Amino acid sequence: MSTTPDLTVRIGAVVLKNPVIAASGTFGFGREMADVFDLSQLGGICSKGVTPEPRVGNPPPRVAETASGMLNSVGLQNPGLERFVSEELPFMKSLGTVVIANIAGNTVEDYQAMCRRLDATDVDAIELNLSCPNVKEGCMAFGSTPTGVAGLVRAVRPMTRKPLWVKLTPNTGDIRETSIAAEASGADAVSLVNTLLGMAIDIRTRRPVLRNNTGGLSGPAIKPVALRMVHEAYQAVGIPIVGMGGILTGEDAIEFLLAGATAVQVGTANLVNPLACQDIMDAMFRYAKEIGLERIADLTGALRIW
C-alpha cells in the first residue's frame, strides 16, 4: 500500500506544514523570494534580524567566500522594529505560512520592549537572537554562557505569550549547557547553530577581507559541527530543536532530523540557489515516500548510535 507522507511537524504550539523554514538573514522578509516560488509551501519564514531602532549594519566589504562556505559581517542591517511591524510583518503574514520574528538587542531591556511590542501582533513566534557574532555588544554576549542565556530568557518570558525560540551560538563551551539554560528559563524551543566566528585574509593587502575583521562562517563547512551540537542538545533537553548549519539538500535536512531536530532552517543555500527551500522540501517528501514513512516527525531523534 502506498503512503502519502505527512510532513507536518509541531514546535510547541506552532504547527508547521513541513519542517523547512527559511532562516533569518538570508531571505530578507520574503519580498524578493515571493517572485521566485510560492512561499506558502514553506513550513515558515524567519525574519531578518530586527532591532529596536534601524541599523545600517557594518561597513563593506561584509561578505566573503571561503572554502565550502561564506563569511558575513552584515551587522544586523534592518529597518527597525516599528517599520517591521507596520510594513514587513503584514506582508509576511499574507504569504500563507508561519512567521517567526528574529529579534536582537544590546540590553535586556531592548529584548523586553521588543517582546512586549510583538506580543500585540499576529507574529506566530519570536526567535531571540543570542548568537550574532557580528555586532559589538548584545546578542552573543548574552548567548555565550548559560548564565547569560538564562538571565535574558527569564527576563523576557513574562513579556509575551508568544512562543519563544532561543537561537544559540556554537561559539561557546558546551551547547548542552546553554540549551538546558534556555529550557529551564522558559524557552519553547532552541534554534542551533548560528554561524561560527571566522576570518579570511587577503595576502596582498595583508588585511582581513572583511572590514569588520571577523565574521560568521556558514554553509557546508559547518554542517558536521552543527549536526554534533544538535545531537548533543537533543540528548540534554526536552523542548524541540530547530536545526541549521550547512543545509543544502534534502539529505542534509534529514540528517538534522535524525540527529534530533524537529525542523530545520535553510540559510546560505538560498544565496546559491533561490529554489533551495523548495528543492529540499521536495526531496524530503520523496525520501519519506520511498521508505514508506507515514510521518516525517518520526525521523526526529531516530539516529542509531554505534
Residues tagged active-site:
132
Residue 43 has φ and ψ, to the nearest 5°, of -65, -35
Helix (H) or strand (E) holding 71: strand 69-72
Peptide bond connecting 193 to the previous residue in cis, omega within 30 degrees of 0: yes
Quote the CA–CA distance of 218 and 234 in Å, as a whole number: 21
Q: Which helix or strand (DSSP H or E) is residue 196 part of?
A: strand 196-198
Give the whole-angstrom CA distance, residue 55 versus residue 63: 17
Q: Is 202 helix (H, G, I), strand (E, B) or coil?
A: strand
| DSSP reduced 3-state for 305 | coil
| Contact yes or no for 233/225 (Cβ under 8 A) | no
Burial class (CB in 10 A: 0-12, 13-18, 19+), 228: middle
Task: With beta carbons less than 8 A apart as the criterion, state whether 130 and 96 touch.
Answer: no
CA–centroid distance for 240 within its chain: 13
Q: Is the alpha carbon torsion for 255, 229, 276, 102 positive or negative?
A: positive
- Alpha helices by DSSP H, listed for the chain, are 81-83, 89-93, 108-119, 140-143, 146-156, 175-184, 223-236, 250-259, 269-272, 276-290
Question: How open is the CA angle 8-223-296, to the nearest 5 degrees?
Answer: 15
CA 248, CA 267: separation in Å to the nearest integer? 9
